[in-house]
Structure 1
Amino acid sequence: MKKINITYILSDIQKAIAFEWIAEHIDKSRFDLSFILLNPNDSPLERFLLEHTIPVYRVRYEGKKSIPKAFFKVRQLLKKLKTEVVHCHLFAACVVGLTAARSLGIKKKIHTRHHSTFHHEYFPKAVFYDKMINRLSSDIVAISHNVQEILTQKEKVKDKKIHLIHHGFDLEEFTKIDTNLINTLKKKYDLVGFEPVIGVVARQVHWKGIQFIIPAFEQLLQQYPNAKLVLTNANGDFKTDIQALLKNIPTKNYIEIEFEENVTSLFHLFDVYVHTPINAEVEAFGQTYIEALASGIPSVFTLSGIAHELIENEKNALVVDYQNSVAILEAIKRILGDKNLANTLKMNGIADVQHSFHLQTYIQKLEKLYTL
């Protein structure tokens, strides 16, 4: 049986464990998988693929000015690889990869939609490009019902083009507890002796709602003066505003981490996890919902993205109103003050993610999509 040649085209991705899982677990008896990375330099993902002898090609990309050259280089690579299925992720990869694939007559041109209403709310002119990418694609992967509805309702994509495929996770990786690594990370980030540790894993952009978590933590210090706030993925266009809010907190009581490669161990540093997007639609998926629950960390959430399909208040997390620091504070205090509640949220969260987000289910759905 002839193998199907699949090429993933990704842009502006340094480290993404999901692609490592796909590369490792896709059925190699049926598919030959290669990667084209649009990046300015090498990356942890590129190094991983090289170490695992998976064909990977880097095309230099430093912004929109690089698109014309990237197009010709990607087109050349797709022709060389005899690619039959293209799967693109993120804006530049979609513009370059789908256009190049179309010019070569490749019929199966897939893109995964990783954002929801972001352009509609913050950059309305960019919706034009979203619609262009939708038209260039033969198939679109919607990562949540929320994204599916935005594609059909707001952007008028036909249902038959859309495939609802939730992200999958190697859930066992989150339940493994490497005590030595956890202790190393505690020392690395000066968490030894601080309790409780409140965790946030979110880019510093307006819609992630970190601006409502920081005032809640500021008030939490009145009852827990030895608490520490950990802000991970601490980059983004809202960073200046975040810095202004952090001035109200003693420097010993918070730390910002720009990047941590050991994300599955990172969650085990936290006593409570908080993720509070500012409205119901702005989060496309929110992998962090799954990662926190899979790690068994009692969590405080607003409902956005995949949370609408997973999170149940008082069962597997505490749900709070959008843009409400007081509600966030009270929910954190409830978890810290009630061990039975914290344990209930932990056990139910671990159980609930097992039902719908297992890696093998995800891989099988992708393989079905790739079949010509």
Structure 2
Amino acid sequence: MNQLKIVFIISHVHKSLQLEWMIDGLVRKNIQLSFILLGQSKTELSQFLHDKNLKVFHIPLAGKVSMILAFFKVFSILRREKPQVVHTHLYHANLIGLFAARLLGIKRRIYTRHHATLHHQYYPKAVYIDRFINKLATHIIIPSNSLYETLVNLEGVHSDKIRSIPHGFDLAYFSTRDTTIEKFKSKYKLKGSHPVVGVIARHTEWKGIQFIIPAFREILKEYPNAHLVLANAGGDFEKEIAAMMLAIPDANQTIIPFENDVAPLYHCFDIFIHAPIDSKCEAFGQTYVEALAAGIPSIFTLSGIANEFIVNGVNALVVDYKQSEMIAFNIRRLLNDPPLSKRLIEQGRVYVEKRFSIDQMTTRLEKLYLTGE
């Protein structure tokens, strides 16, 4: 049987554990993989691919003129490689890669949708490009079912194009040695702090960090050694978040611009919080899975994939959107009820192990690549 030949096109990704895990899973199958990376050439993703001895093409991308040049380079590579499948990730890769693949008559043109209602809410002109990308694709992978309504009702996509394939995770990665955790606590000056409340989210308005900070301020009144960690920070709401953080003493806060190795970071937290502002703003929401895989008692609002597997009081505590008071109440609840925290930890791991393995994801991807189903 001839190997299935797939070209992945990915734009502006420096590091992505989720992509690395997916690639590892696909390498173990009878699939020939090649990659076109748009953007910077010296990235951790690029190094990962080279270490795997996979074929990688680097194409610079910065500005409108370079987009035109990138299109012709992608077109040339695809014409030479002759893949049966092109699978694209992220905005520029979708636009350039699917357009080139369409012109070349490549029969299976797939993209994974990584944003939800972002463009509809904040960048309405970009919705026209989204609709064009949708037409170029033969299949659209949605990592959570909350995207179905956005694609079908707001963007006019025919349901036959849509395939629901949740992201997969190397769940063993989230089991971290105590020595590594201690190093991270020292690195971020968290030793002696309790409780450590963790948030891993970009500083953008719809992530809801602005509702977590007031809740933490209330907890700080009762727990003077409490510590708030905002990790993988940075974004278009950064100034607003920084202004709110001025009300928290420096000794009780840590802001981490970016941390590649998130597993030991999760294990530094006593409580994890993720509070997006509505049910559809997350396309997936990997922190829901990561926090439970790491065994951290968590407080969530439901968005993206959380709508499908988070059960209030069973594997996490659920609060209403934009409700600082409820977040503070549930922090106290976890601190005052260790048996509840223990049950949430146990059930959280059970739920993610059932739904989010790499093997489940790559098996479904392989079926889509081979049959379109």
The equivalent of 2:223 in structure 1 is: 224
Give secondary structure in 2 for the equivalent of 1:269: coil
The equivalent of 1:301 in structure 2 is: 300
Q: CA deviation at 1:235?
A: 1.1
Give secondary structure in 1 for the equivalent of 2:59: strand
The equivalent of 1:116 in structure 2 is: 116
Opposite residue 49 of structure 1, the aligned amino acid is: L
1:264 aligns with 2:263: yes
Deviates more, 1:273-282 or 1:31-40: 31-40
Tell me the distance in 1 between the aligned counterparts of 2:281 and 2:301. Answer: 11
The equivalent of 2:370 in structure 1 is: 371
CA displacement 1:324-371 (0-9 Å, x = unmatched):
111111111111111011101111111111111111110000000111
- Over the matched positions of the two proteins, sequence identity in percent amounts to 47
| Equivalent runs, 1:182-331 vs 2, <5 Å | 182-331=181-330
The equivalent of 2:52 in structure 1 is: 52
CA contact 1:200–1:273 (8 Å) conserved in 2:
yes
Tell me the distance in 2 between the aligned counterparts of 1:24 and 1:41. Answer: 21
Tell me the distance in 2 between the aligned counterparts of 1:44 and 1:351. Answer: 31
Opposite residue 355 of structure 2, the aligned amino acid is: S
Deviates more, 1:145-154 or 1:294-303: 145-154
The equivalent of 1:130 in structure 2 is: 130
Tell me the distance in 1 between the aligned counterparts of 2:39 and 2:223. Answer: 43
Give secondary structure in 2 for the equivalent of 1:371: helix
Give secondary structure in 1 for the equivalent of 2:50: helix
Q: CA deviation at 1:64?
A: 4.0
Give secondary structure in 2 for the equivalent of 1:285: coil
Q: CA deviation at 1:47?
A: 0.9
Pair 273,29 (structure 1): closer, same or farther in 2 beyond 3 Å: closer
CA displacement 1:284-330 (0-9 Å, x = unmatched):
11011000111110000001111110111111111011011111111
CA RMSD of aligned residues (A): 1.2
Q: CA deviation at 1:180?
A: 2.1
Tell me the distance in 1 between the aligned counterparts of 2:344 and 2:334. Answer: 9
Q: Runs of 5+ in structure 2 lacking a partner?
A: none
CA displacement 1:57-94 (0-9 Å, x = unmatched):
22111244421111111112222322221111110110
Tell me the distance in 1 between the aligned counterparts of 2:237 and 2:226. Answer: 24
Pair 65,249 (structure 1): closer, same or farther in 2 beyond 3 Å: farther
Tell me the distance in 1 between the aligned counterparts of 2:27 and 2:56. Answer: 18
CA displacement 1:153-208 (0-9 Å, x = unmatched):
2112111111011111111221x222222122111111122111111010000000
After the TM superposition, which segments of 4 or more aligned residues of structure 1 sit over 4 Å from their partners?
A: none
Query: What is the TM-score of this pair, normalised by structure 1?
Result: 0.97
CA contact 2:145–2:305 (8 Å) conserved in 1:
yes
1:25 aligns with 2:25: yes
Tell me the distance in 1 between the aligned counterparts of 2:195 and 2:247. Answer: 19
Tell me the distance in 2 between the aligned counterparts of 1:270 and 1:66. Answer: 43
| Equivalent runs, 1:133-144 vs 2, <5 Å | 133-144=133-144
Tell me the distance in 2 between the aligned counterparts of 1:255 and 1:64. Answer: 38
Tell me the distance in 1 between the aligned counterparts of 2:235 and 2:207. Answer: 11
Opposite residue 72 of structure 2, the aligned amino acid is: F
Opposite residue 86 of structure 1, the aligned amino acid is: V
Opposite residue 179 of structure 1, the aligned amino acid is: D
Pair 352,370 (structure 1): closer, same or farther in 2 beyond 3 Å: same
Pair 29,281 (structure 1): closer, same or farther in 2 beyond 3 Å: closer
Q: CA deviation at 1:264?
A: 2.0
Pair 110,339 (structure 1): closer, same or farther in 2 beyond 3 Å: same
Tell me the distance in 2 between the aligned counterparts of 1:358 and 1:23. Answer: 13
CA contact 1:194–1:227 (8 Å) conserved in 2:
yes
Tell me the distance in 2 between the aligned counterparts of 1:38 and 1:194. Answer: 42
Give secondary structure in 1 for the equivalent of 2:190: coil
Deviates more, 1:124-133 or 1:177-186: 177-186
The equivalent of 1:91 in structure 2 is: 91
**How many pairs are equivalent?**
371
Deviates more, 1:176-185 or 1:328-337: 176-185
Tell me the distance in 2 between the aligned counterparts of 1:252 and 1:41. Answer: 39
